[in-house]
Amino acid sequence: MSAENWTPPCRAHAGTAPISGVRIVRPRVFADERGLFTESHSTRALTEAGIHATFLQDNLSHSKRNVLRGLHGAPNMAKLVMPIRGEVFDVVVDLRPGSPTYRVWESYVMKAEEFSQLYIPAGCLHGFLALTDEVVFHYKQTALYEPSAEFGVAWDDPELAIPWPLDGPPILSAKDAVNPTLLELGL
């Protein structure tokens, strides 16, 4: 497994440098006539990639095309995410006070067949848009889910101006539909 300063098939907002601590991890894939094998998690490999995290909870979500989940974050929770079926437009927003990339966002197109994982540092927002008819998305978290610790920001916040590649109106949860903007949060 290796982390790289990867140039995503999308762009970083306003041509800025990548967000500090965000990593793309690409595990080795061994393929032959039987199919393939890959390590989906190796503490040693993650440490070698500069990720020093202990993951406490795993989650799966299942989404259809145009489901938009996010933007969510927690000050104490880092995530390691990957699609295991389908393709997503994935977004990270740095909301860590004092960070040189505060309020900067990056986007990535992640495809299950590439097996790439995205590490999102604690204090950053995360969200994704399902680009295919079926998406199964895997999350590893460094903290147990605690609703009172989570915060959300509107997916369409005008200050962020993220160009989500929607194919029609987004399908949102009731909670995500009313997330406040950065301005409303005083950030």
72: annotated active-site residue: yes
- Which CATH number is 13's domain given? 2.60.120.10
DSSP annotation string for 31-67: EETTEEEE-S--HHHHHHTT------EEEEEEE-TTB
pTM of the model: 0.88
138: annotated active-site residue: no
Catalytic one of 72, 119, 126, 138: 72
Amino acid identity at 5? N
Q: Is 92 exposed, middle or buried (0-12, 13-18, 19+ CB in 10 A)?
A: buried
Give mean pLDDT, residues 85-106.
96
Residue 181 has pLDDT above 60, yes or no: yes
Catalytic one of 102, 138, 139, 145: 139
Q: Measured between alpha carbons, how far is 97 from 93 in angstroms, rounded to an integer?
A: 12
The pLDDT value recorded for residue 100 is: 92
The pLDDT value recorded for residue 46 is: 86
Residue listed under structure tokens 């609703």: 147
Q: What range defines the domain where residue 38 resides?
A: 2-185
The structural domain count of the chain equals 1
Residue 15 has pLDDT above 80, yes or no: no
